[in-house]
């Protein structure tokens, strides 16, 4: 950690900062320049993370050197983590395909979709039973009935299921049915929920918040890891920017960037990331080319009757066609679909 003193800070102020650092058994190292004095801290600066050093008199700013996360960092674990979701390996050579409707609406709708995406070569089935909706007047999901339909689809089609959990009170329930929890973008910093899923052993697909930095995203992963659950899959799903032509700006660069910082696998959700059906195919290919470990895509047998996100859902036939083109891109970069 580097503490930059204000120009004109007094000797007493500098010493006060140094004393403060020593209180935490760390060693301050003072360098006086012509224009400013800086104080370097030798030792594990994470100890000082919650110490309000900027409030000390004479301090201009505090700059962190070390990353604030530990278990999630590439330094902690050099090789890539491969997460096993009921037999599907996420983070291995195969780029994992996850597809399904935004919401579970009925057995018929889910089974029809599951059958189609299974034929297209999907590895895992998605579908929401609890839905976070911007409007209180919108469809809020089927709840446990939806979970039961998901479980039935797993039996019938042999696909592990991933489904969202919204509320600490539902973690136990969802755990009973799902192969993988999904934590949605709006809950990326719902720390109580992160702690609860962290106490299970089940894989967690952790979406990036639509307003979250990569650093915060990895800190949220750290919440799950530090509670004992090492099975975290990251999912980029678009961030909010000033651009309004797309629903969000899908940050494909987060894929290679995150892979340098962490050992955890990272997948991409181009459906929410763009919100525009006609560019999902291009962006799926881009994600695979950039090194994503998987793709999460919304598919609905009749998008115009979907109870949520119909505008951005692909038809099964469109999805099947997309998968064919993705196989070629994966091969071009020595991966497999």
What residues between 178 and 197 interact with a copy of itself by CB under 8 A? 186-187, 189-192, 195
Q: Which is nearer to a copy of itself, 25 or 33 (CB)?
A: 33
Phi, psi at 198, each rounded to 5°: -65, -25
Distance CA 190, CA 72 (A): 18
Per rule CB under 8 A, is residue 271 in the interface with a copy of itself? no
For a copy of itself, what does the binding mask look like between residues 205 and 224, x meaning CB under 8 A?
A: ----xxxxxxxx--x--xx-
Closest CA to 296 of 87, 93, 133, 126: 126
Output the smallest distance, CB 120 to a copy of itself, in A. Answer: 18
- CA-to-CA distance for 141 and 139, rounded, in angstroms? 6
Closer residue to a copy of itself in complex, CB, 79/304: 304
Q: Which is nearer to a copy of itself, 41 or 124 (CB)?
A: 41
Quick check: helix, strand or coil at residue 260?
A: helix
Does residue 244 belong to the site contacting a copy of itself (CB under 8 A)?
yes
Backbone angles phi, psi at 211, to 5 degrees: -130, 20
DSSP, res 87:
T
Tell the burial category of 246 from Cβ atoms under 10 Å away from its Cβ (0-12, 13-18, 19+). Answer: middle
Extract the tokens encoding 85.
């979701």
Q: Which is nearer to a copy of itself, 116 or 159 (CB)?
A: 116
* Residue choice 49, 87, 176, 317 for contact with a copy of itself (CB under 8 A): 49
Residue 253 binds a copy of itself (CB under 8 A):
yes
Q: Which residues pair with 182 in a beta bridge?
A: 164, 205
Q: Does 106 bind a copy of itself (CB under 8 A)?
A: no
Size of the site for a copy of itself (CB under 8 A): 113
Interacting positions 273-292 with a copy of itself (CB under 8 A): 273-274, 276-279, 282-283, 285-291
For residue 101, give both structure tokens.
């409707």
The answer to whether the CB of 326 falls within 8 A of the CB of 285 is yes
Binding segment toward a copy of itself, per CB under 8 A, in 30-38, 83-91, 107-115, 155-163? 30-38
- 155: contact with a copy of itself by CB under 8 A: no
Q: Which of residues 25 and 155 has its CB atom nearest to a copy of itself in the complex?
A: 25
Q: Is 173 in the site for a copy of itself (CB under 8 A)?
A: no
Phi, psi of 179 (to 5 degrees): -90, -20
User: Could you say whether residue 309 binds a copy of itself (CB under 8 A)?
Assistant: yes
């Amino acid at each position: 950690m580097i503490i930059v003193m204000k120009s004109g800070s007094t000797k007493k102020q500098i010493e006060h900062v140094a004393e403060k650092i020593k209180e935490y058994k760390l060693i301050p190292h003072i360098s006086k320049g012509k224009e400013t004095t800086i104080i370097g801290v030798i030792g594990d600066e994470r100890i000082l993370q919650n110490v309000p050093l900027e409030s000390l008199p004479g301090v201009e700013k505090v700059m962190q050197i070390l990353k604030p996360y530990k278990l999630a960092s590439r330094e902690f674990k050099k090789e890539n983590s491969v997460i096993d979701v009921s037999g599907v390996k996420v983070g291995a050579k195969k780029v994992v395909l996850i597809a399904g409707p935004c919401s579970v609406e009925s057995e018929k709708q889910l089974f029809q979709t599951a059958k189609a995406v299974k034929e297209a070569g999907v590895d895992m089935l998605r579908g929401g039973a609890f839905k976070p909706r911007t409007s209180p007047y919108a469809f809020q999901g089927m709840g446990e009935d939806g979970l039961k339909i998901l479980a039935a689809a797993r039996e019938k089609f042999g696909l592990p299921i991933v489904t969202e959990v919204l509320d600490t009170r539902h973690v136990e329930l969802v755990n009973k049915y799902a192969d993988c929890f999904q934590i949605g973008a709006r809950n990326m910093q719902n720390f109580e929920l992160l702690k609860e899923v962290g106490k299970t052993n089940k894989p967690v697909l952790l979406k990036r918040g639509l307003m979250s930095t990569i650093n915060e995203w990895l800190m949220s992963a750290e919440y799950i890891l530090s509670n004992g659950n090492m099975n975290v899959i990251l999912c980029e799903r678009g961030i909010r920017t000033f651009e309004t032509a797309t629903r969000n700006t899908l940050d494909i660069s987060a894929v290679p960037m995150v892979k340098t910082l962490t050992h955890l696998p990272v997948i991409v959700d181009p459906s929410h990331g763009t919100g525009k059906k006609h560019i999902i195919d291009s962006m799926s290919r881009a994600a695979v080319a950039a090194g994503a470990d998987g793709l999460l895509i919304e598919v609905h047998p009749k998008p115009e009757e979907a109870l949520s996100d119909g505008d951005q859902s692909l038809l099964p036939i469109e999805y099947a066609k997309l998968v064919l083109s993705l196989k070629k891109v994966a091969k071009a970069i020595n991966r497999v679909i």
